[in-house]
Structure 1
Amino acid sequence: MVTQVRPSQLDDWLHRHAGQQPLVLDVREALELQAASVQPQGFELRHIPMNQIPQRLGELQPDRPTACLCHHGMRSMQVALFLERNGFDEVVNLAGGIDAWTLERDPSVPRY
C-alpha cells in the first residue's frame, strides 16, 4: 500500500532520506505546469505526465525515494501504485497535490 504524505509532512519524509536525493515526480500535464509549479528544496523535481510514465519508466530509479505529485492527489496516487507494482521500493503519494502544497507549504504557488 502506498503511503500518503501531506505537503506539510514532506520535510520529515525528505529528512528520513537524507543523502539519497529524493525525487518529486510531477505527473501533471504541461498546461498545468504553466499554471503552477513547485520549487525544489531538498529534492530533485522531474516532470513526466501520467500517460507517459509506462513508456518512460526506464528514466526512473526503483531504489530512489520518489514522491508523486499532481493537482489534487488522485493521478499521483495511480502513478505511485503503478511504480510500486513495478518494483519501486520507496514511493509515496503527495496527498492533496499541488493544491494542498499551496495551502500547507508555499502560498506563493498559484491555485487553479
Structure 2
Amino acid sequence: MFGSHVPTMTVTEIDDETHLLDVREDDEWEAGHAPDAHHLPMMELPARLAEVPTDRDVAVICRSGGRSAQVVAYLMHNGWEQVRNVEGGMGDWAAAGRPVVDSDDQPGRVL
C-alpha cells in the first residue's frame, strides 16, 4: 500500500534509545501500550510535530502498521530522516512477549 519508500523495523529492533511513538487513539492507548512509548494520536500529529524528536531514531507504532506507515510517510515528507514504521504494530509487540500496560500501569491488552 505504501511501497518500499516507507522504512520499517521489527519490534525486536527497538531498543532503549529509540523514541517509540504510538499514534493510536486514546481508547487504544488506555487499554494497552508499551511502557516507554510516547502517545501522539495520528490526527493530532500536524499540530504537535515539535514533540517528535529529530535527533534520534523514531519508531512509529499503531495496532497493525497501517496508520503508523502513513505517519512515517508524513514525517519523512516534513524532513524527518531517522523514522521507521514498526512492522505488525502492537499486535506483533504483544506476540513477541514485550510488556503492555494500561493507563494505570497495570497489565494491558491490545485493542
Relative to the length of structure 2, the TM-score reads 0.79
Amino acid at match of 1:46: H
Equivalence for 1:76: 68
Amino acid at match of 2:109: P
Counterparts in 2 of 1:107 and 1:39: CA distance versus 1, 3 Å? closer
Q: Say which of 24, 36, 47 aligns to 1:28.
A: 24
**Identity of paired residues, percent?**
34
Equivalence for 2:53: 61
Q: Alpha carbon RMSD of aligned pairs, Å?
A: 1.8
Q: Say which of 2, 9, 21 aligns to 2:13.
A: 9
User: What do the CA deviations read for 1:12-39 (whole angstroms, capped 9, x no partner)?
Assistant: xx6xxxxxx4311100011001211112
Q: Say which of 34, 39, 58 aligns to 1:38.
A: 34
User: What do the CA deviations read for 1:82-107 (whole angstroms, capped 9, x no partner)?
Assistant: 01111111000001100110112426
Give aligned pairs, total: 100
Relative to the length of structure 1, the TM-score reads 0.79
Q: Which moved more, 1:23-32 or 1:57-66?
A: 57-66
Paired with 2:88 and 2:8, the residues of 1 have a C-alpha distance of 9
Residues 63 and 88 of structure 1 are in contact (CA less than 8 Å); yes or no, is this contact kept in structure 2?
Answer: no
Residues 23 and 41 of structure 2 are in contact (CA less than 8 Å); yes or no, is this contact kept in structure 1?
Answer: yes
Within a 5 Å distance, the mapping from 1:95-106 to structure 2 comes to 95-106=87-98
Give the helix-richer structure, 1 or 2: 1
Paired with 1:107 and 1:84, the residues of 2 have a C-alpha distance of 28
Counterparts in 2 of 1:107 and 1:54: CA distance versus 1, 3 Å? closer
Counterparts in 2 of 1:107 and 1:65: CA distance versus 1, 3 Å? closer
Residues 63 and 89 of structure 1 are in contact (CA less than 8 Å); yes or no, is this contact kept in structure 2?
Answer: no
Task: Show structure 2 runs of 5+ residues with no match.
Answer: 101-107
Task: Show structure 1 runs of 5+ residues with no match.
Answer: 15-20
